[in-house]
Amino acid sequence: MIDLFSGLDAWVLVSLLLALTFVLAFEFINGFHDTANAVATVIYTKAMPPHLAVLFSGVFNFLGVLLGGVGVAYAIVHLLPVELLINVNTGHGLAMVFSLLAAAITWNLGTWYFGIPASSSHTLIGSILGVGLANALINDIPLGDGVNWQKAIDIAMSLVVSPMAGFAVAALVLIGLKWWRPLSKMHKTPDQRRKLDDKKHPPFWNRMVLVVSAMGVSFVHGSNDGQKGIGLIMLVLIGIVPAKFVLDLNSTTYQIERTRDATLHMSQFYQRNAATLGEFLALGKAKSSDLPEKFSCNPQQTEPTIAALQSSLQGVTDYHSLDADKRVEVRRYLLCLDDTAKKVGKLPGLEAREKADLEKLRKDLTATTEYAPFWVIVAVALALGLGTMVGWKRVVLTVGEKIGKQGMTYAQGMSAQITAACAIGMANVFALPVSTTHVLSSGVAGTMVANKSGLQGGTVKTILLAWVLTLPASMGLAAGLFWLASKAIG
């Protein structure tokens, strides 16, 4: 990590430290903003004392970040179009990062202050989309090219479908529990348990399930939301000190060979499917000398790009042997080929087996660009874990008492938490960012309906309003800040 600071101008160093502080502040806020949802049911049902629940939740959030990988991190990064990612410079990178972070932090703090379970995921994604669209307007790029819309649609679907699934599945789980054991004490609220049984805590097995499922939600939250922070830090590092982070300098000779072989096999793949792809990729028509001096990713230039990349990696066994400009160049080629491969995979006419082969080649191609240094993962894990331990009270009350017209029963808490842990865990498997807030609160709402408790219209309207407004508000904030910052540096 010490190498990170060597050879940097003072203003770049200050900017870098400030940007990293902003990202970690976002993750810290995310900790007490979102993780309150993970511990809300276990605290409200008195399955665990608040401070113990928050402490354990912080630990499991930490572990979730450490063990979660980087799939969701780069799903977030690739919301930005490939042209913006491959042509970013230090000033532009600073403007981009500070704008989206300032917008995300502002909205998160505002919704937390009013105790509204708004989504940090929505906030961050909206901020990234706002920067992408503002960049398109500033540089006269068509709005259709300002954002990776296919990735945005995939993420939007996961954000919309996951709370709906949470509502339905949690309701069904509760109905199943009521059918299985209709007279069980797990169908009491904490107040009823205290008045009728003179007991403070849930029955033993219900308590165990509540505690385990709460820690499960904390773990998958750390894995999913922590990766968003990792993706942000990688945007910061690549945008401000690209020479050191555009490629994984710790890549082994074998990993570099895999990357080089992937380009060769990708070329063979395109030739094998020339009848289907020839026109889209202009196969056999473009030459290596056709690449423009200012590189632009164009599927029609795929063959020259592959040739240029193979030339750049010829005989390379250690990325340290490449000078800074060559590393940036290699990353541009890799990102462009990956972007083109994604577009090719969506073309009609390719067999399912061929599309699966192309996906494998893409993974090999990006193995040394989609990474995160260990210190980045640890820093995000600490920020998220520590953030979990403060500021949780505002949201716990909302989730426990203000969604339904009566308090939450133990069975409702178990149903909502088990559903949330499974839903977010599945999203992690498919590298899709989802909202812990929305999955859990919609799960609680589903159990209230299934329990015939009814919903508190005011709270539900407030949550839905935050759900609807978060995306456009964060987009507008980030776009405005990015426009102002671009004018200031331009």
At which of 298, 333, 365 does a domain end? 365
The answer, yes or no, to whether residue 399 has pLDDT greater than 60, is no
| pTM assigned to the model | 0.83
* More reliable by pLDDT, 69 or 264: 264
Structural contact between residues 337 and 361, judged by C-beta atoms closer than 8 angstroms:
no
Tokens coding 324: 């800074």
Q: 440 and 340: one domain? A: no
Q: Which residues span the domain enclosing 130?
A: 2-243+372-489
The answer, yes or no, to whether residue 470 has pLDDT greater than 80, is yes
Question: What is the count of structural domains for the chain?
Answer: 2
Based on the number of CB atoms within 10 Å of its own CB, is 403 exposed (0-12), middle (13-18) or buried (19 or more)?
Answer: buried
The answer, yes or no, to whether residue 260 has pLDDT greater than 90, is yes
At which of 324, 344, 365 does a domain end? 365
Spatial neighbors of 245 by CB under 8 A, at least 6 apart, are 234, 237, 238
Among residues 107, 120, 57, 157, which one has the least CA distance to residue 478?
107
- What is the arithmetic mean of pLDDT over 166-186? 91
Q: 221 and 325: one domain? A: no
In single-letter form, the type of residue at position 351 comes to: E
Q: How many residues does the chain have?
A: 490
Q: 52 and 93: one domain? A: yes
Q: Give the orientation angle of helix 10-44 with respect to helix 120-138, to 10 degrees.
A: 150
Q: 287 and 390: one domain? A: no
Q: 45 and 97: one domain? A: yes
* More reliable by pLDDT, 302 or 4: 302
- What is the arithmetic mean of pLDDT over 101-115? 81
Question: Among 326-340, 341-355, 445-459, whose mean pLDDT is lowest?
Answer: 445-459
Q: 304 and 205: one domain? A: no
Q: 139 and 285: one domain? A: no
Average pLDDT value for the chain: 83
- What is the pLDDT, as a whole number, of residue 402? 47
Q: 405 and 463: one domain? A: yes
Tokens coding 387: 């953030």
At which of 331, 350, 365 does a domain end? 365
- What is the pLDDT, as a whole number, of residue 404? 44
Q: Confidence class of residue 269 from pLDDT cuts 50, 70 and 90?
A: very high
Q: 414 and 335: one domain? A: no
Taking only the tens place, the pLDDT of each residue in 340-395 is 998 898 888 888 899 899 999 999 999 899 999 999 999 999 998 888 777 556 55
Q: Confidence class of residue 290 from pLDDT cuts 50, 70 and 90?
A: low
Taking only the tens place, the pLDDT of each residue in 198-222 is 888 899 999 999 999 989 998 998 8
Q: 401 and 473: one domain? A: yes
Contacts 24+ apart (CB under 8 A), 315-318: 316/256, 316/260, 317/253, 317/256, 318/253, 318/256
In angstroms, the CA 42 to CA 402 distance is 16
- What is the pLDDT, as a whole number, of residue 33? 66
Q: 201 and 308: one domain? A: no
The answer, yes or no, to whether residue 262 has pLDDT greater than 60, is yes
With a pLDDT cut of 90, the percent of the chain lying above it is 25
Q: 413 and 343: one domain? A: no
